Amino acid sequence: MDKESARRLIKETFQNPFDKNRFIYFIKNILNRYDESKTFRLHGCYIPDSFKDYIKSYERIGTYTDPEGKKIDILIAHLKRETTVDRARTAQRNFIARYLKERGEKDAGLIAFVSPQEEDWRFSFVKMEYKFEKTPKGDVKVKEEFTPARRYSFLVGKNESSHTAQSCFVDILINDIHNLELNEIEEAFNIEKVTKEFYEKY
C-alpha cells in the first residue's frame, strides 16, 4: 500500500462513526492475515454478571498469531446505551482481560469499543502477562498481570482527528509484506503523547 492510500484508509476508519466492515478492512491491512474461522458474537447470559452494566454484546472477528506464536484476538465490544466510550474504562479493560485469560490465555487483544448513541469510539490494545504461581495445595495456576503503563487507547470517530493514528500506523500499512510481532503492535500504541487530540493512556 502506498503512503497516500495508507493515510486515506486511516482517515476513513478513524474519522467516522464506527463501521464494522471498515474496521475489519483496516485490521486486515495492518496484520496482513489472521484466522477468521472461529468468529462469534455473544450477549445476554454470556456476559459475566460483573460486566452486564457496561457490555451489551461482544464479537470476535478473528485471531492473529504472530511469527513467535503469540495470539491476539480482534474484538468488537458493544457497550450499553447508558455507557459512553469514555466512562467505565477500567471495567472495559477488566472485561477484556477476563476474556483473554478464559479464551485460552491469549496474549493480547485489539478491541473496538462502540457505544450505540455516540459518533466516537475507542480503539484499544490490552496486553496480558501471565505469571504462574503455586496454590496452597501445590497446584500451579495462572496469575494474570497487565503490563504496567502499556494499556493504551485511541479515542476516534467523527469528532476526532486521525493525526496521531497516522503517525502510528502509516508505516505499518505501507509495509504490507511484513507480519507484525506482538511487540511491534504494542509499539504502535506505546508512543509519547504527541497531541492532545485523542491519544489516551488508561
The tens digit of pLDDT for each residue in 39-83 reads: 999 998 999 999 999 999 999 999 999 999 999 999 999 999 776
Confidence bin at 166 (pLDDT 50/70/90):
confident
pTM: 0.85
| Strand intervals (E) in 19-134 | 40-43, 55-65, 71-79, 108-114, 120-134
d(CA 181, CA 121): 25
175: Cβ contacts below 8 Å, ≥ 6 apart: none
The string of pLDDT tens digits covering residues 102-127 is 888 899 999 999 998 889 999 999 99
Domain extent at residue 172: 3-201
Checking if the pLDDT of 201 tops 70, the result is no
Contact at 8 Å (CB) between 34 and 62?
A: yes
> What Rg, from alpha-carbon coordinates, does the chain have?
17
Question: How many domains does the chain divide into?
Answer: 1
Please provide the average confidence, as pLDDT, over all residues in the chain: 85
